[in-house]
Amino acid sequence: MQKVLGYMLTWTACGNWLQGDRRGYVKDGQILESNPSLENKNKENMRYPKVSLNTAQREIIKKAIYEESAKLNQNICAIAVRKNHTHLVAECSFISAGSAVSHYKNAARLAMRSSGFAGRLWTRGFSVRYCFDENHLNATIRYVNNHNKNIQSESPQLYVGG
């Protein structure tokens, strides 16, 4: 079995990537095509407003995630907190990807609540891409760092890395 060097975690802010989305979407690990009627139904059923994070909120979230990573003793290689999603590349440690996301989402939610944010911040779930070698890990870090350089690109692209 190959050793996992790191992983990229991605999660979205509430209301930004609904099932049925025109860009495609992931459900139960499967990449599915657009389904406008499903997307419209999900929009109708939303209980919380769509979240669009401003610059100050993104910094609050980033700081909270870094503080949580220190508590978890997990090294973050790259992070991009955008208006509607977060990408994070971390070295593998004793913590599973699912547990890490749970910690990071919760830390960010609590920090945002402390700054006055009310409502639901994150969607359920996340995606994970495992990196098994240095080349893939470095390419994934570049991908995330490019999100920080290209501020105009606020919509996440469905990332299907190799």
pLDDT at 63 over 60: yes
Q: What is the mean pLDDT of residues 99-118?
A: 96
Mean residue pLDDT across the chain? 84
By CB neighbour count within 10 A (0-12 exposed, 13-18 middle, 19+ buried), where does 3 fall?
Answer: exposed
By CB neighbour count within 10 A (0-12 exposed, 13-18 middle, 19+ buried), where does 151 fall?
Answer: exposed
Least confident of 11-15, 63-67, 83-87, 99-103: 11-15
Report the candidate in 119, 122, 118 with the shortest Cα–Cα distance to residue 9: 122
pLDDT at 16 over 80: no
What was the pLDDT predicted at 122? 94
pLDDT at 127 over 70: yes
User: Which distant-in-sequence residues (6+ apart) come within 8 Å of 42 by Cβ?
Assistant: 18, 19, 20
Assigned CATH topology for domain 6-16+50-149: Alpha-Beta Plaits (3.30.70)
pLDDT (tens digit per residue) in 132-154: 999 999 999 999 999 877 654 44
Rounded CA-CA distance 3/33 in Å is: 32
What was the pLDDT predicted at 96? 92
pLDDT at 78 over 90: yes
Residue spans of beta strands (DSSP E) within 19-118: 25-27, 30-32, 76-81, 85-91
Region of 55 (left: φ > 0; alpha: ψ -120 to 50; beta: rest) is alpha
Rounded CA-CA distance 40/133 in Å is: 40
What was the pLDDT predicted at 94? 83
For the chain, the domains span 6-16+50-149
What was the pLDDT predicted at 1? 61
